[in-house]
Amino acid sequence: MKILIVEDEIQLADALCELLKRNTYSADVCYNGIDGLDNALTGVYDCIILDIMLPGMNGLDVLRHMRNEKINTPVLLLTARSEVNDKINGLDCGADDYLTKPFVTGELLARIRALTRRKGEIVDENRLQFNGLVLNKNTCSISCGNNDVKLSLKEYNVMEMLIANPGQILPKERIIEKIWGSESDVEYNNIEVYISFLRKKIASISADVQIKTARGIGYFME
């Protein structure tokens, strides 16, 4: 999963980034609100850790702009402010959770897990499910009933995006940026190849699920 950290305390932001990477997350860091908003609006993140007091644009304004642009990425406000009114304002602006500094890293990770779980139906910490189709992280496979098939790493990454956002059209650009990175020279036909592989594997296990094409836009699971 990919997480965005928007925090102007450089030492803290970098420490959070390392913590997340040690816990198998991919993480990007922005040190001001303007850059944070630009990154958030890409829609490629599974969760955003957002400070309130930021240079350029404060965290609440970043949050308002995100929600106005229909970016529904879960947001955890991380701030030194502990007054009840500050918490209320943050939640009213569209935050999903609130954690004050100083914090315990174990609690931060638990809150991130809770926020990202809400995006899809979770069987347990290592499995995602949609309409009988199960994506298993431990075995890098998909299964339905007693049938299962292995996935390559890229197949797994694409399937994870689809199954975590059922019914939502995922643009090809978003898939490329999330899985290959914004600097990648991967072309659309690379995605089409992996989608073709996944369709065949879904059919091979008789799952009642299809990857549909939104012509000229991207793909969605139905």
Domain with 178, as residue range(s), is 121-221
Of 43-47, 147-151, 179-183, minimum mean pLDDT range: 179-183
* Residue that finishes a domain, picked among 117, 145, 162: 117
pLDDT for 88: 82
147-150 and 211-214 as β-strands: parallel, antiparallel, unpaired?
unpaired
pLDDT for 42: 85
170-171 and 211-214 as β-strands: parallel, antiparallel, unpaired?
unpaired
CATH number, position 15: 3.40.50.2300
Name the domain count of the chain: 2
Same domain, 33 and 133: no
Percentage of the chain beyond pLDDT 90 is 44
pLDDT for 125: 58
Query: What digits encode the pLDDT tens for the residues 82-111?
Result: 667 777 888 888 899 988 888 888 999 999
pLDDT for 78: 84
Q: Where does the pLDDT of residue 141 fall: very low under 50, low under 70, confident under 90, or very high at 90 and above? A: very high
CATH number, position 211: 1.10.10.10
* Residue that finishes a domain, picked among 90, 117, 144: 117
Q: Where does the pLDDT of residue 194 fall: very low under 50, low under 70, confident under 90, or very high at 90 and above? A: very high
Same domain, 200 and 146: yes
Same domain, 113 and 132: no
Mean pLDDT of 62-76: 90
Q: How far apart are CA 40 and CA 142, in angstroms?
A: 30
Same domain, 110 and 127: no
Q: How far apart are CA 222 and CA 167, in angstroms?
A: 6
Check pLDDT > 60 for residue 137: yes
Q: Where does the pLDDT of residue 161 fall: very low under 50, low under 70, confident under 90, or very high at 90 and above? A: confident
pLDDT for 121: 45
Q: How far apart are CA 89 and CA 15, in angstroms?
A: 27
pLDDT for 118: 60
DSSP string, 149-161: EE--HHHHHHHHH
Residue-level length of the chain = 222
